[in-house]
Amino acid sequence: MKKPNIALIGFMGTGKSIIGARLAEILKKKFIEMDDLIVQLAGKSIPNIFAEDGEIRFREYEIQMCKEVSKRKDVVIACGGGVVLNKINIDYLKQSSIVICLKTSPEVILQRISKDGKERRPLLNKPDPMAEIRKLLAFREAFYNAATEYQIDSSNLTVNEVVERIREIFKRESI
């Protein structure tokens, strides 16, 4: 079946939002940031969900939103980095999306999240964020690899080059 959507997964700071927004513009699709949908649903920020309700509650919101976006058409979705932790999320996403995983080095991740302000990302708001990045990446690597055959390492690519690769995959898959 032809899939109308693209879902970008991958660790925090791998460029899902910037690449997703650019891709949506080019493909004339709507761009969705899954974390924004969760903030709307919960009526509070991501750090507040983690602090007041806990990570498990956040993961429940995530499952709910993956189910919800699986019913949409012609969207590019930037998923939160932990979406791979519950396999049901990937199953929902794959119902209507080509799932693509972005990868990059821990050094680039640290640079990007430092620029964004680490308060935004409760899991990395720790005294030694680099150690957290390495620990989480090691734990999650198998989940990212299992989620999709489409893995793009963006460490040495520009945003436009990554967008081009995704467009090729999407074109091939939607024939």
State which of residues 121, 132, 133, 148 lies at the interface with ligand S3P (CB under 6 A).
121
123 forms part of the interface with ligand S3P (CB under 6 A): yes
Copy the structure tokens of residue 62: 């995530």
State which of residues 8, 37, 66, 81 lies at the interface with ligand S3P (CB under 6 A).
81
Complex with ligand S3P: residue 34 or 163, whichever CB lies closer: 34
Instruction: Calculate the dihedral angle through the C-alpha atoms of 99, 105, 107, 111, rounding to the nearest 10 degrees.
Output: -30
Cross-strand partners of 8: 78, 100
Contact letters (x/-) for ligand S3P, 36-55, by CB under 6 A?
A: ----------x---------
Complex with ligand S3P: residue 106 or 175, whichever CB lies closer: 106
Ramachandran region, residue 10 (left: φ > 0; alpha: ψ -120 to 50; beta: rest): left
Instruction: Round to whole Å and give the CA distance between 98 and 65.
Output: 17
103 forms part of the interface with ligand S3P (CB under 6 A): no
